Amino acid sequence: MTPSPDAPARLPRAVLRHGGARCAALCAVSAAATAAGLLLPAALGRTLDLLLADAPAVRWVACCAGLVLLIAVLDGCAGVLTGTVDARSTAWLRRRVTGQVLALGPRAGARFGAGDLVARLVGNAAQAGTAPAALTALIAALAGPVGGVVALGVIDPWLAAVFLVGAPVLALLLRAFARDTSACVADYQRVQGRMAAALAEAVGGFRTIRAAGAEDRETARILAPLPELSRAGHRMWRVQGRAAAQAVTVAPLLNLGVVAVAGLLLAHHRLSVGEVLAASRYAVLATGVGVLVGQLAALSRARAATGRLAEVLAEPAPRYGTRGLPPGSGRLELRGVTASRGGRTVLDGVDLLIPGGTTLAVVGRSGTGKSLLAELAGRLADPDAGEVLLDGIPLRDLTHADLRHAVSYAFARPALLGTTIEDTIAFGLTTPSPARIRSAARTARADGFVRRLPDGYATRCADAPRSGGESQRLGLARAFARGGRLLILDDALSSLDTVTEHQIAQSLLAPGTGPTRLLIAHRTGTAARADAVAWLDGGRVRAVGPHAELWRDAEYRAVFGA
């Protein structure tokens, strides 16, 4: 699949559709506030004429007071609706982008960087969420000048004609401002993303940084883009300041022209004093470029942020099929599997067959593609060529639910997600039971140290002190609790002591019925307990056979440093 070229255009429309009724309500309230604002100058002018003529004006004074109160109420309602629309749009965008990132898996981090993804998900999503309200506010802000020009024409066509002479200049200023602001904001957000990516790398490697005494150097590396960020920010504010200054220069001239013509018309008795007052107020509304500049700036920031989110959503996510798994023992087959990483072919035409219920250990030197093979075997990644089959069904054809129920994983450095230890082991289970969780923990030799924690299985995972081996045992318990017909251990025994590894291997590899097991192995003991060993060398399967037979080859022994 290739990224959709029109994804950046679809996302803003999708955000607006999601807002739906709330956006419509905000638009109605804003339109009503604008209409009340347009009626107020006419009401003030009529009131002034009545007062100057000593005529009764109580009703018109009350009308003016009512319009002022109505505008205040509508502005308050618009503020509440704006906050609601912004919050709901931001939440919707974050859910959608988070789902896309999780669907993309490791490819998302490789494509964008973990820190940049966080910046997009947190900062850019919040800015993009303001787009519906910003667009509504811009439309309302445009309605003010348009209504002001129409009102000037109603008072006297000459007043509207004077204003329209300078209107094209204002339109060109706003067009140039919108174009320049979008470019500046996009540059600013890109630099922010780079800084966030560098910070995320430093946080992940803080022990290495501290051990090397490189705190100052890393601080300098993270903050290195600050001058570029500053330049982008200054450009953005210069553009806005220049637009505001130009508007301030043009708008008073137009106001002065309208008031001057209104004065001449007053002198010729074509306008009343109240109509001159109204005309002066409508001229201010018609030249409300300052409001438009602010709304355009907000919309430009939102559009730039939406574009960065659309880049993530445009990445093609894996598609799942509609077929279910037939009854079977977990027979796994790789046919002509080729896969690349970073432009380098890591696996090249790999063919493997693991009979159901048996154990295959995969060994090889570093960089031969063992972990990539483990990813492909359970469809955490897709091959560039060839296919992977489970009980005769290509993994691409399986439904998401069938695939994930059938395959369990344990990793060398497991991510222990969940609030408590029990949540961590039960992660991914639809209906976890305490008995199942504790049985899995006993199989992984984790039950003993978990019970010694202050609150046992109810201990918060973040508060539970544990070694690397204990973390691996929790990851193994999670995989055992999930069950399924295929168990993949990606170097998941590497941090265990020899005795614990032997105990777990005895339970895991005991003869009899059980899931098919694919082990990425670095120790001879693990390879020796497997039914067969696949020896990877240079991205290809060099040999498959029992460990005892392969051990006769000196190059195979060298893989283990023997």
If asked whether residues 295 and 345 sit together in one domain, one would say no
Same domain, yes or no: 199 and 173: yes
Contact by Cβ (8 Å): 176, 293: no
With pLDDT > 70 as the criterion, what percentage of the chain qualifies? 91
The DSSP element (H or E) to which 466 belongs, if any, is none
Coil, helix or strand at residue 42: helix
Nearest to 299 by CA among 172, 87, 131: 131
Q: Does the structure show a pLDDT above 50 at 477?
A: yes
One domain, residues 337 and 219: no
Instruction: Tell me: do 279 and 379 sit in the same domain.
Output: no
Domain containing 377 equals 332-559
Domain boundary residue, one of 272, 287, 314: 314
Boundary of a domain, candidates 263, 287, 314 = 314
Residues 6+ apart with CB under 8 A from 355: 329, 331, 516
**pLDDT over 80 (residue 40):** yes
Same domain, 264 and 149: yes
What's the CATH number where 142 sits? 1.20.1560.10
Which run of H or E residues covers position 445?
none
Residue 340 lies in a domain: yes
Would you give the end-to-end CA distance of the chain in angstroms?
45
> Does 322 fall in a domain?
no
Query: Is residue 80 located within the same domain as residue 132?
Result: yes
The answer on 230 and 137 residing in a single domain is yes
Shared domain for 235 and 342, answered yes or no, is no
Please state which of the ranges 6-10, 58-62, 118-122 shows the lowest mean pLDDT: 6-10
Q: What is the pLDDT of residues 384-410, one digit of tens each?
A: 999 999 999 999 999 998 999 999 999
Overall domain count for the chain: 2
Q: Give strand pairing partners of 519.
A: 361, 489
Q: Domain check: are 13 and 55 in the same one? A: yes
Which residue among 259, 279, 314 closes a domain? 314
Q: Is residue 533 within 8 Å of 539, Cβ to Cβ?
A: no
Average pLDDT over residues 432-459: 90
